Structure formats: structure tokens, C-alpha cells
Structure 1
Amino acid sequence: MDPPIFLVCSSDPGVAALIGAGIDCRIYSFGEVPEDAPKPVLKPYVVWSLIDGSPENYLAGRPDADGFTLQVDVYAASADSATRVTKALRDALELSANITRWGASGMDPTTKDYHRSFDIDWITLR
């Protein structure tokens, strides 16, 4: 019921070089860093949220695929780092999903972290 964003990103060499690989990859679901993540959270890191989704319904039979729309947010200590991670994610994800929106970018006034956002549409077979 979730798109394989972690699997795709954590196994991509370009992404892994910037945010880690395998179980150490700093990409988190539900739009936030989990409480049990190492503190302080290493930057850059990525969070994603499911913002829409639906099964591919048919008149006969069970759906064999699910469609998802995700918002992906990159946080980093510098604008250059946020941009490099976003480009690496783009290159990894475009082989499996479609980027549908380039969103906001800027610096958080409180944390001074830089941020970039984009949305992707993904269809996954069950």
C-alpha cells in the first residue's frame, strides 16, 4: 500500500552518496523524521508524504495496481546541498515515477535549514 520510494532511493548510488544507503538512508515517511532517528538528525535528509492515492479499479476482478501522489521534501544545511539531493532524487525517481510539480524552496527562518519540495505520481503493481 506504499510506493517503493525508500527502496528506489536507498539503492541508487547518486542518492546514497548524499543521504546514505540501505537502512542508513535518511529518507523518512509520513512527512517527518521519526522520534527514534539518531539525534541530531544528519543533514541533508528527505521526508515524503502520501497526498493522494487510489487503486486501479476494474469492472471485473481485483485491482492489480495502485496509484500514488507523493510530496517529497528535502532539508539541508545549504542551498547547494538541497539542490544536489533534489537532482539526485529526480534522476533516481524518474526511472520509476513521474515528477508532476516542482514546489516551494527556501530557508526556514527558525532552523535556518534549506528546503526544496516536489510531487511525484507513481503507479505500482501489486
Structure 2
Amino acid sequence: MIAPIFQVCAASLAVTALLGTGPTRLYPHGEAPEGTERPYAVWQVVTGSPINFINCVPSTDRYGLQVDVYAETASAADEVVSALRRVIGQHAYITGFGIDAKDEDTHSYRKGFDVAWLVSL
């Protein structure tokens, strides 16, 4: 199993109002298709491990995710991050805040955060 970040976010009207539908501009592996309309968000697994027990097989995995938002303006990036945090925070733990800068390659404002997501097997 994998953390259901896309399913949770794509089911949120607040998120899809900003990232669209068909497709919802939230992409795995930290990469969006070339020419994707902004704003968009990407996510990737940066760490993960089973939650081990001495007397049985793990029943839960912990995924550490990094989420990054790219937007034309800093305020648009903030708005998408806020919507994503609200919906993700109902299912997982926001564990830290990452980059908050203008990306040199895309000339987009980039803002990110980290998530710990527990997934039952």
C-alpha cells in the first residue's frame, strides 16, 4: 500500500477548486508533466518504514512524504498549501515545513511541507 494522498486531496472541494479536476494537478514522484498549468503540487516519498512489533508482523507502515506547491505568485502558493494542509491534516500528521522560495528553474513560487502518513496494511 501507499499513502492515499491523491485520493484524499482529489476528494476535497477546497483542493480541486485550486488544483482542478480531470486532472487534479497533484502529481507523484516529485514531478509534474512539462507545461502543467500553475498552481500545481507534487509529492514524493522521502522515507518510510514498517511499524514493527516483537511478537507479530507489522500491520502499519509509516510514510514520510514531501509536498511541494508551485504557483505564479507567493499568495497563490500559500492558498494551495493551506488547502492541502487542512485536508491532509485530517488523515495524517504535518511534521515540518520545507522550502519557501522562488524556484530558479521554473520561475514559480515554491512552498513545501512534510507529512507523516500511517497506512494500515
Uncovered stretches (5+) of structure 1, i.e. residues with no partner: none
What is the alpha-carbon distance in structure 2 between the residues aligned to residue 54 and residue 111 of structure 1?
33
C-alpha deviation, 1:41, in angstroms: 0.7
Matching residue of 1:116: 111
Paired residue secondary structure (2:76): helix
Counterpart for residue 24 of structure 1:
23
Distance 1:117 1:26 in 2: 15
Post-superposition offset of 1:76 = 0.7
Question: What residue ranges of structure 2 are gaps of 5+ in the alignment?
Answer: none
Query: Could you tell me how far apart the structure 2 residues matched to 1:68 and 1:54 are?
Result: 7
Task: Identify which range, 105-114 or 94-103, moves more after superposition.
Answer: 105-114
Normalised to the residue count of structure 2, the TM-score between the two structures is 0.93
Secondary structure of the corresponding residue to residue 90 of structure 2: coil
Return the offset for 1:2.
1.3
- Length-normalised TM-score, structure 1: 0.89
Q: How many residues align?
A: 121
Structure 2 Cα separation of the partners of residues 7 and 88 of structure 1 = 15
Aligned equivalents of 1:79 and 1:101: distance in 2? 19
Q: 4+ residue runs of structure 1 moved beyond 4 angstroms? A: none
How far off is 1:49 after superposition?
Answer: 1.1
* Residue 9 of structure 1, CA deviation: 0.5
Paired residue for 1:2? 2
Percent sequence identity over matched residues? 39
Query: Root-mean-square deviation (CA), in Å?
Result: 1.3
Counterpart CA distance in 2 for 1:65 and 1:110 is 38
